[in-house]
Amino acid sequence: MPGSLQRLSPISHFQALSEAVGRRAYVLLVFTMVVWAANSVAARLAVGEIPPMLLTFLRWTVCCVALFATSRGQIALHWRALVPHWRYLLMMGTLGFTGFNALFYAAAHHTTAANLAIIQGTIPVFVLIGGFFFFGTRVRTLQVIGVALTLTGIVVVASQGRMSTLRSLAFNIGDVWMVIASVLYTVYALGLRRRPPVPQIVFFTAVAAVAALVSLPLALAEIALGQSFVPSTRGWLLLLFIGLLPSFVSQLTFIRAVGLIGPARAGVFMNLVPVFGPLLAVLVLRESLSTYHAVALAMVLGGIAIAEYVRPAAATPAP
């Protein structure tokens, strides 16, 4: 009847709700990937403004303060369940958070934000390789091709597309450190298979707390070696940005998005980090992208796409 309100069928209601949830999740995921990509830019901006080991320590300290302030109820309820797993948590925090970030911020002193983002984008493929060697995960022919293509992309970035660099093995030390950092985070990602049965935010808080404690000796060593200094005003502002957005807020938005659309669909968005990273490097840092950057990026993204075509990878929170 014209002018009357028509009631939607249950199926229509479900479809409308699914579309709304999907749109919300996509907004959250794009925001998250932009923030994670911006971490590479922030790392470059921090050079000369705040010491890298001090930044690593204070990043996780700021993050822990924010986590305890917002999630103390859940933490108080579940922390006892984590005590028997203290060795596991120590390994995860040391390798995945402290080790990765210490090398990441040290690498930023020697390489570009674009390189940092592109190399970081290869972590899903490293996880695939690790799953094959340590867990016997079945790897198909297409995935092998994807892995080979992605690893070739890393070589192109590290060698800057020059055969002479490959022959002499004279790689940029920053790129080498970033590859090692990505391997450390791969161990963390693989270790998530044995995560204790507690809410994700509680587990993240525990690992972040371990990272803060373990990174303190690195900051003290930096001081003892005469490599530390008082951060500048820009350094403190960058610390707040890194500690609150890439470390805290983006983790919450990612967890929420995974809850809305599932880990497999959310994991695909991880491929946007090596895309947004170079773009932000150009816009914010005025870095110039060379032909080898485009070639390497195409190889990395193409390799990841091929490797994930067979079976989308589960989402892993980025560092």
What digits encode the pLDDT tens for the residues 79-108?
A: 999 999 999 999 999 999 999 999 999 999
Q: Which of 129-133, 173-177, 291-295, 302-306 has the lowest mean pLDDT?
A: 302-306
In a domain? residue 3: no
Contact by Cβ (8 Å): 188, 100: yes
Q: Count structural domains, the chain.
A: 1
At residue 110 the predicted structure's pLDDT band, cuts being 50, 70 and 90, is: very high
- Is residue 312 over pLDDT 60? no
In a domain? residue 141: yes
Q: Please tell me which of 15-19, 28-32, 64-68, 127-131 the model is most confident about, judged by mean pLDDT.
A: 64-68
Domain containing 163: what range? 24-309
In a domain? residue 302: yes
C-alpha distance from residue 152 to each of 72, 82, 300, 309, 315 (Å): 45, 40, 8, 19, 24
Pairwise CA distance, residues 173 & 111, whole Å: 8
Q: What's the angle, vertex CA 240, arms to CA 37 and CA 175, rounded to 5?
A: 40
Burial of residue 305 (number of CB atoms within 10 Å: 0-12, 13-18, 19+): middle
In a domain? residue 128: yes
In a domain? residue 314: no
Pairwise CA distance, residues 113 & 216, whole Å: 25
Q: Which of 121-135, 186-200, 298-312 has the lowest mean pLDDT?
A: 298-312
In a domain? residue 257: yes
In a domain? residue 317: no
In a domain? residue 1: no
Q: Which of 36-40, 131-135, 217-221 has the lowest mean pLDDT?
A: 131-135
Hey, what are 292's tokens? 């080898």
| Average pLDDT, integer, range 185-213 | 94
Which DSSP letter does residue 3 get?
A: T
Summarised one tens digit per residue, pLDDT across range 116-162 is 998 998 888 888 889 888 888 887 888 888 888 888 888 888 787 88
